[in-house]
Amino acid sequence: MTTLSQFLYLSQVRGDKPFETIAVVVAEARQLNAEQSITGVLVFDGAQVCQYVEGEAGKIDALIERLRVDPRHEQLKVLHHAPLQGERRFARWRLGYLMLDDGRDLTRFDALVGEGAIASFLEQLPLVDLEP
């Protein structure tokens, strides 16, 4: 049986065109995630990203290493990284996407870690773009 892992992080988007940057990131991630059997959700507030991914432990670890060196963002903060108990939360989503455009932002996640961070993240998801 394959060991599944989950990873939640917060980071700051670099550059002067964050919306264009995130559009590219989402498109690339959806393709790579499909190839790697990684699923998850990305939330963007116009400046910061909070992303949850799940998949085989080795593939999640490789993704984390790519994220750490990706020049499109900075200040990557790990909020939660642990084995996933039970089934995937987002088995049908290569990458769901939610743009917070109602005045909410992701700064509150900076103080969260562990299961509390996961619970707060999941509360953001009622309006996720489930991809075409």
Asked if 98 contacts 128 with a C-beta cutoff of 8 angstroms, the reply is: yes
What pTM value is reported for the model? Answer: 0.88
Q: What angle do CA 53, 90, 12 make, to 5 degrees?
A: 35
Q: Which residues contact 17 (CB under 8 A, 6 or more apart)?
A: none
Of 60, 66, 63, 116, the C-alpha closest to 83 is: 60
The C-alpha torsion from 31 through 37 and 116 to 70, rounded to 10°, is -40
Digit-coded pLDDT (tens) for 64-122: 999 999 999 999 999 999 999 888 988 888 898 888 876 677 877 877 888 888 888 88
